[in-house]
Amino acid sequence: MTTVSDYFRDYAPKYDSFTLRAMPHYQEMLGEIVRCLPDRANDILDLGCGTGSLTALLARHYQNSAITAIDASAEMIELARDRLGSSAVSHDQVKFVESLFENLELPARAYDLIASNMSLHHIVDKAPFYRRLQEGLRPGGMLVLGDELAGALPRIQQLNWDGWLRFARDSGGLSDIEIEEIVRHEREFDHYETLPRQLELLRVSGFGSVDCVWRYLNYAVFVAQG
């Protein structure tokens, strides 16, 4: 059986260029995450750092912070290290940890900010995991989460799928084989929630205030606090 680490090991070298071709408004989504960041955060967790695109933005935004960046794939982490090394950011600011989210021991009340982009849809049973995140935050701490959703109505799901397909073919130039590969990955690894369900999951996990601040097709950015 292919694990998520196997998948991203093979995908790592082409991740950055392929993501720009396969994900509409990827940079805008990262920008929305940055827009919603709290003014101050000393201890930060980046879940599913991948090649470090969000990690680098966090490191630049909070220059005196301590960032722990988690990912299951050693190869993705290596690329994130390279990215941070070539920027003005010192390596000491960021600690990389190779781990599955599911195996992560999160210290209680240890973080001011937990951020993540396009990674937590890999988790099947989200409520217990979100609860651990809520418990990992200090009082007033914030979760800022970019992720992929499912449409809440079949018609909306179809429209969003059609919109994505148009982007992937016309703007991204993805071939049918590349599109099939994405669909296969989604079937094997991805567990999407609808927007109302995502808000509900965050609420039942103990976050008192939750909001969706941005959405395009099935991509969205959430903020949760408390």
**Using CB under 6 A as the criterion, which residues of the chain lie in contact with ligand SAM when the complex forms?**
4, 8, 19, 48-50, 53-54, 71-73, 76, 100-102, 117-119, 122
Q: Which is nearer to ligand SAM, 27 or 90 (CB)?
A: 27
Q: Which is nearer to ligand SAM, 190 or 208 (CB)?
A: 190
CB of 205 to ligand SAM, least distance (A): 17
CB of 175 to ligand SAM, least distance (A): 20
Of all residues in this chain, which one has the CB nearest to ligand SAM in the complex?
50
Q: Which is nearer to ligand SAM, 53 or 198 (CB)?
A: 53
Closest among 95, 90, 48, 98 to 74, alpha carbons compared: 98
Q: How far apart are CA 224 and CA 153, in angstroms?
A: 24
CB of 61 to ligand SAM, least distance (A): 15
Q: Which is nearer to ligand SAM, 112 or 147 (CB)?
A: 147
How does strand 43-47 pair with strand 66-71? parallel
Q: How far apart are CA 108 and CA 50, in angstroms?
A: 24
Q: Which is nearer to ligand SAM, 54 or 84 (CB)?
A: 54
CB of 211 to ligand SAM, least distance (A): 20
DSSP 9-71: HHHGGGHHHHHHHHSTTHHHHHHHHHHT--S--SEEEEES-TTSHHHHHHHHHSTT-EEEEEE
CB of 144 to ligand SAM, least distance (A): 12
Q: How far apart are CA 203 and CA 182, in angstroms?
A: 31
Q: How far apart are CA 55 and CA 45, in angstroms?
A: 9
